[in-house]
Amino acid sequence: MNIIVSGGGTGGHIYPAITIIRTIQQKVPDARFLYVGTKRGLEADIIPKEGLPFTTVDIQGFERHLTADNILRAGRAMVGVAKATRIVHKFKPDVVIGTGGYVCGPILLAASLMHIPTLIQEQNVVPGITNKILSKFVTKIAAGTEEAMKHFPADKVVFTGNPIRSEVLSAQREQGAASFGLDPKKLTVLVSGGSRGARAINLAMIGVIKNAAAHPEVQFLHVTGKRGYEPVLKGLEEAGVDLTACPHILVKPYLYNMPQAMAMADLAIFRAGATGLAELTARGIPAILIPYPYAAENHQEHNARALEEAGAARMILDRELTPERLSSVLTELLSEPDKLQAMAKASRAMGRPQAASDIADLVLDIAKK
Ligand SMILES: CC(=O)N[C@H]1[C@@H](OP(=O)(O)OP(=O)(O)OC[C@H]2O[C@@H](n3ccc(=O)[nH]c3=O)[C@H](O)[C@@H]2O)O[C@H](CO)[C@@H](O)[C@@H]1O
């Protein structure tokens, strides 16, 4: 069986794609895959590292107004669809899967027009524009949340939940701690602004880390995003923090082994990207969420609110984020283990660890037909 998979731009679209591939491989060991992305997206870094065949089409997102640049982009998009058609002709897929990001557009459109079965997976409560357009052409839509279903044709959409990497579930605390040189017995806070990092969280964390430097009983693993790494190191230095004297505080640009970090996290400080939240809830990790305020239709705040209402997370709006506010919520939660435990329980109740398997079954089902 030949399967084309596409999804990209950010990790929130790429990791669901990898998870779907790995799950199908368990069910159909001889399935052949081809991943279609762009040269500029994070997928060009992550997918070859996963050992998956990777090819690219050239496409960019559109601006919301008519501009000369947009006309150029439309031209590129047409070239993108032509190249996608050639890729489909050559690879002869039995089914094509898209997990979001504009890179999915050309290949899913080409495959649909060639009457090849297609499935898209939507992670967010409010769908992205590419998936909204593609939903008119594709065979099936796997929705990550029940709220998203109303945005899609009722006869095509199925609620599955968001797929999470199996390592997120299988990773163990002791191993996680060992891989970072941290102490498995200490309370551990994992900080991440999503796959590209978050400047606002990084800035607030400089103040939090300054206080935490004198409290080795709580460990911090702060993932800054590649672009935020040097500025955070500089900010800490200016704040008088000597990281070499603080083995309980780790600052990293990006984690290729995020599941190991999640395995030892007692509390997370996160943006509210849908894939990250699916992983946190599958493990039952309580969180302080700071939604990215400029995500399309403010979908991260919707994502975060769902967890907050269920008692699985506390939310701080980006415009209200200061080191003091973050420190105060953090101190409150870390000093009240019962509260943290209740949040962990509520978080676990929201997780859908079987989502990947359900999506893989859906893919195999439409491929057969
Ligand atoms: C700014 C923006 O619009 N972001 C969107 C993007 O977020 P983004 O790409 O940040 O997505 P998420 O936070 O949902 O997922 C990030 C993924 O990257 C992984 N990871 C992250 C950092 C790291 O160092 N290592 C690592 O492996 C996480 O474990 C997770 O699997 O896609 C999500 C899913 O469609 C959306 O909900 C987000 O709103």
Query: Residue 197 C-alpha to ligand 1 middle, in angstroms?
Result: 9
Q: Is the pLDDT of residue 132 over 80?
A: yes
What angle, rounded to 10 degrees, do the helices at 337-350 and 299-309 form?
A: 120
CA of 240 to the centre of ligand 1 (A): 31
Residue range 147-153: mean pLDDT, rounded: 94
Position in ligand 1 atom list of the atom nearest CA 278: 14
- Number of CB atoms found within 10 A of residue 341's CB: 13
With a threshold of 0.95, tell me whether the complex ipTM lies above it: yes
Between CA 167 and CA 224 the distance in angstroms is 22
Measured in Å, residue 201 CA sits from the centre of ligand 1 at 14
**Measured from the CA of 100, which atom of ligand 1 is nearest?**
35
- Please determine, for residue 285, whether its predicted confidence score (pLDDT) is greater than 80: yes
Please check the confidence at residue 76 and state whether its pLDDT lies above 90.
no
Report how far residue 107's alpha carbon sits from residue 85's, in angstroms, rounded to the nearest whole number: 7
DSSP-assigned states of every residue in 154-191: TTTEEE------HHHHH--HHHHHHHHT--TTSEEEEE
pLDDT at 291 over 80: yes
What does the DSSP assignment read for 222-276?
Answer: EE--TTTHHHHHHHHHHTT--GGG-TTEEEES--TTHHHHHHT-SEEEE---HHH
Helix axes 68-91, 104-113, angle to 10 degrees: 50
Regarding predicted confidence, which is higher, 315 or 77? 315
In whole angstroms, give the CA distance from residue 276 to residue 169: 13
Q: Which of 195, 196, 232, 277 maximizes ligand 1 atoms within 8 Å of its Cβ, making it the mutation to test the pocket? A: 195
Q: How far is CA 162 from CA 259, 355, 357, in A?
A: 16, 6, 10
**Is the model's pLDDT at 70 over the cut of 80?**
no
- Is it the case that residue 292 has pLDDT exceeding 70? yes
Say how many C-beta atoms besides its own lie within 10 A of residue 159's C-beta: 16
Q: State the average pLDDT for the chain.
A: 94
Could you identify the atom of ligand 1 that is nearest to the CA of residue 164?
31
Q: What is the pLDDT of residues 162-218, one digit of tens each?
A: 999 999 999 999 999 999 999 999 999 999 999 999 999 999 999 999 999 999 999
Q: What pLDDT, on the 0 to 100 scale, is given for residue 129?
A: 84
Residue 75: which pLDDT band, with cuts at 50, 70 and 90? confident
300 in ligand 1 pocket by Cβ < 6 Å? yes
Q: Residue 297: is its pLDDT beyond 90? A: no
Of 275, 281, 289, 292, best ligand 1 pocket probe by most atoms within 8 Å of the beta carbon: 275
> Can you say which residues are annotated as belonging to the binding site for UDP-N-acetyl-alpha-D-glucosamine?
10-12, 124, 165, 195, 300
The predicted pLDDT at position 91 comes to 98
- Identify whether the C-beta of residue 116 lies closer than 8 Å to the C-beta of residue 93: yes
Whether the predicted pLDDT of 108 surpasses 90:
yes
pLDDT band at 60 (very low <50, low <70, confident <90, very high): confident
Q: How far is 303 from 278, CA to CA, in rounded Å?
A: 10
91-100, 121-130, 326-335: range with lowest mean pLDDT:
121-130
200 lines ligand 1 (CB under 6 A): no
Predicted TM-score of the model (pTM): 0.90
In ligand 1, which atom is closest to the CA atom of 128?
Answer: 35
pLDDT for the residue numbered 67: 74
- What is residue 74's predicted lDDT score, i.e. its pLDDT? 72
Helix/strand/coil for 111:
helix
Instruction: Please say if the pLDDT value at position 119 is more than 80.
Output: yes
Average pLDDT of the residues in 289-307: 94
What residue type is 86 in one-letter code?
Answer: R
Average pLDDT over residues 3-11: 94
Ligand 1: residue whose CA is nearest its atom 11 = 12
Q: Sorting pLDDT into bands at 50, 70 and 90, what band is 128?
A: confident
Predicted pLDDT of residue 69: 76
In the chain the domains, ranked by start, together with CATH numbers, are 2-163+353-368 (3.40.50.2000), 167-350 (3.40.50.2000)
Mean pLDDT to the nearest integer, 360-364: 98
Q: Is the CB of 292 under 6 A from ligand 1?
A: yes
